[in-house]
C-alpha cells in the first residue's frame, strides 16, 4: 500500500498576528521542518500545501525539498489545499495534518493508516461524536472528486466531503491514547497563549 502525507501550511495565522506559523521555531527547527521530519519516515511522499508562489518562496528553506502545491481556489480554507495536495499524491492513501499541529505521534500516524486500509477514510472521533479531520487518513480516489464538488457547491466546511464518503472507519479517540496518552497529536498552535502553554523545545 503506497502512502502519502499532506501538510496544510496555507493559513494566514491571523490569531498569531499574521505570522507564518510554519516558520515558528523550536529546538527541532521550524514547525514545518518538525512535521516533515515526523512524516517522511512513514510515507512515500510528503506534500506541502501553500497559498501561492510568494508563500512558497518564504517557506522554501524549511520545506526540506518537498513538493509544494498552490491553491487554485481563493478564500476556501483547508479544502483548497487538500484538493491540490490530493491531486499530487503518489499514494493510494494520504494522511492529512496541518503545520500548526507539531506534536503528531509517529505511532498514531501508522495506526491511522492501518485503520484506513480497505476503507475510504479513517477519522478519529471524540466521545461526543465530533471528528478530527486533520489527523486522518483518506483514500485519494473517492475523496478527491468529493473535495472539488464540495468547493464548487460552496460547502467549505472541511468535513463536507467526508460526510459524502461511503465507508469511513471511525476511530475512537480512546484508541489513540494507547499511543499518545495526552493526545498531543491533536494540539493546534493558534494563539500566542498556545505558544506559551506548549513547549516546543
CATH of the domain at 119: 3.90.550.10
> Per the annotation, does 62 bind a ligand?
no
> Per the annotation, does 116 bind a ligand?
no
**Are 80 and 10 contacting, i.e. CB atoms less than 8 angstroms apart?**
yes
pLDDT at 196 over 90: no
- Which helix or strand (DSSP H or E) is residue 87 part of? helix 78-88
Spatial neighbors of 175 by CB under 8 A, at least 6 apart, are 111
For the record, the C-alpha cell of 67 comes out as 513538493
pLDDT digits (tens, 9 = 90+) for 143-194: 999 999 999 999 999 999 999 999 999 999 999 999 999 999 998 876 656 5
Tell whether 17 is covered by a domain: yes
> Per the annotation, does 100 bind a ligand?
yes
> Per the annotation, does 9 bind a ligand?
yes
Query: Three-class SS of residue 179?
Result: coil
- The reported pTM is 0.92
> Per the annotation, does 37 bind a ligand?
no
Tell whether 15 is covered by a domain: yes
> Per the annotation, does 177 bind a ligand?
no
Tell whether 127 is covered by a domain: yes
Tell whether 200 is covered by a domain: no
How much is the pLDDT for 201?
A: 46
Tell whether 157 is covered by a domain: yes
Burial class (CB in 10 A: 0-12, 13-18, 19+), 59: buried
Tell whether 51 is covered by a domain: yes
pLDDT at 199 over 70: no
- Say which residue the cell 464538488 belongs to: 149
Tell whether 37 is covered by a domain: yes
Domain tally, the chain: 1
Task: Report which of residues 26 and 67 the model is more confident about.
Answer: 67
**Per-residue burial over 149-162, b = 16 or more CB atoms within 10 Å of its CB, e = otherwise:** ebbeeebeebbbbb
pLDDT digits (tens, 9 = 90+) for 44-72: 999 999 999 998 999 999 999 999 999 99
Query: Three-class SS of residue 82?
Result: helix
User: Could you tell me the residue range of the domain that residue 95 belongs to?
Assistant: 3-195
Tell whether 189 is covered by a domain: yes
Amino acid at each position: 500500500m503506497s502512502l502519502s502525507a499532506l501538510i496544510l501550511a496555507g493559513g494566514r495565522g491571523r490569531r498569531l498576528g499574521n505570522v507564518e506559523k510554519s516558520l515558528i521555531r523550536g529546538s527541532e527547527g521550524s514547525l514545518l521542518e518538525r512535521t516533515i521530519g515526523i512524516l517522511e519516515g512513514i510515507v512515500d511522499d510528503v506534500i506541502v500545501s501553500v497559498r501561492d508562489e510568494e508563500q512558497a518562496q518564504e517557506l522554501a528553506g524549511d520545506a526540506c525539498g518537498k513538493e509544494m502545491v498552490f491553491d487554485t481556489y481563493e478564500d476556501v480554507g483547508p479544502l483548497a489545499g487538500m484538493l491540490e495536495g490530493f491531486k499530487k499524491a503518489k499514494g493510494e492513501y494520504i494522511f492529512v495534518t496541518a503545520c500548526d499541529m507539531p506534536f503528531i505521534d509517529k505511532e498514531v500516524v501508522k495506526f491511522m493508516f492501518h485503520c484506513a486500509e480497505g476503507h475510504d477514510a479513517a477519522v478519529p472521533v471524540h466521545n461526543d461524536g465530533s471528528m478530527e479531520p486533520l489527523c486522518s487518513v483518506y483514500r485519494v480516489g473517492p475523496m478527491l472528486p468529493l473535495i472539488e464538488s464540495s468547493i464548487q457547491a460552496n460547502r467549505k466546511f472541511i468535513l463536507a466531503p467526508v460526510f459524502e464518503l461511503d465507508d469511513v472507519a471511525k476511530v475512537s479517540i480512546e484508541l489513540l491514547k494507547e499511543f499518545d496518552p495526552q493526545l498531543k497529536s491533536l494540539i493546534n498552535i493558534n494563539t500566542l497563549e498556545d505558544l506559551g502553554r506548549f513547549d516546543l523545545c
